Amino acid sequence: MNFLKKMALPMFVFLVFAFLYLPIIVLIVFSCNKIAFPYRWAGFSLEWYRELLESTEIWHAVKNSLIVALSAVFLSLTMGLTFIFYTARTKYEKVIPFFYGNLVFPEIILAVSLLALFTFFAIPTGLLALIAAHTVLAFGFVVPILAARFQELDYSIIEASLDLGASLNQTFIRIVIPLLLPALVAAGLLVFVISFDDFLLAFFCAGTSAQTLPLYIFALIRTGISPVINALSTLLLVVSSVGVLIFCSLKSKIRIF
């Protein structure tokens, strides 16, 4: 009886993780299946990966997703970093907790709100609107990460730099940015993974002129599961996993949340 009590929790945890990861394992396995219908195994083949590499529509969607993700990373890091530094020890520092709203509110609320805002100001949906939407979403992650790291810095270093004749901008470039570099890389990786895989904002703000990779996958699976989608999802899983591992390795060196 005691043995069963001791094994109950480990078995429950095992079943939970099996429920979470078994579909991913099946996805990876059937991405290498010879036949197009993934209901039975017919042998190992990389045919679907070859077809994936030859598809121009998929790579066009990948290009749009990369443009949006990299733009959101650059804009959110640039504006977030300047905001954290130039509002330090001022009355504007009190608005930093409002940036945690993106972490609390459901993303669909943000998507609908941005679409209503674009409609009100007659801003056409498309790639630029999607970049703006993803930048707003990224603020909820960038500002808390950079603010937490900036508060850990010894402010006397910044004061010493100013006392020795450096301007505020020189201190920002030569002192603050190198000290915040691990947090910048971690925030950038996190924002890139979130933006590249985001579906809701793309669904509401991309319109018909810009198709990102999540939208392309959504359009394909409406007609049925294709082994090409399995291959594409496997590659995305590998890329996202590498980004998450790098982020976690950097997270261990800084306090983020």
Amino acid 257: pLDDT: 43
Residue 130 in contact with residue 198, Cβ under 8 Å? no
Q: Which residue has the higher pLDDT, 70 or 209?
A: 70
Amino acid 39: pLDDT: 65
CB within 8 A of 129, min separation 6: which ones? 114, 118, 123, 205, 206, 207
Amino acid 134: pLDDT: 93
Mean pLDDT over the full length of the chain:
83
Map out the domains of the chain as residue ranges: 56-251
Calculate mean pLDDT across residues 214-234.
Answer: 80
Half-sphere exposure of 68 (CA within 13 A, CB side): 34
> What is the value of pTM for the model shown?
0.80
Please determine, looking at this structure, whether the domain spanning 56-251 carries the CATH number 1.10.3720.10. yes
251 pLDDT tier (thresholds 50, 70, 90): low
Amino acid 256: pLDDT: 44
pLDDT digits (tens, 9 = 90+) for 23-79: 888 888 888 887 766 667 777 888 888 888 888 888 888 899 999 999 999 999 999
Amino acid 213: pLDDT: 87
CB within 8 A of 32, min separation 6: which ones? 44, 45, 46, 48
Amino acid 131: pLDDT: 93
110 pLDDT tier (thresholds 50, 70, 90): confident
Calculate mean pLDDT across residues 107-132.
Answer: 89
pLDDT digits (tens, 9 = 90+) for 74-103: 999 999 888 888 887 676 677 777 777 777
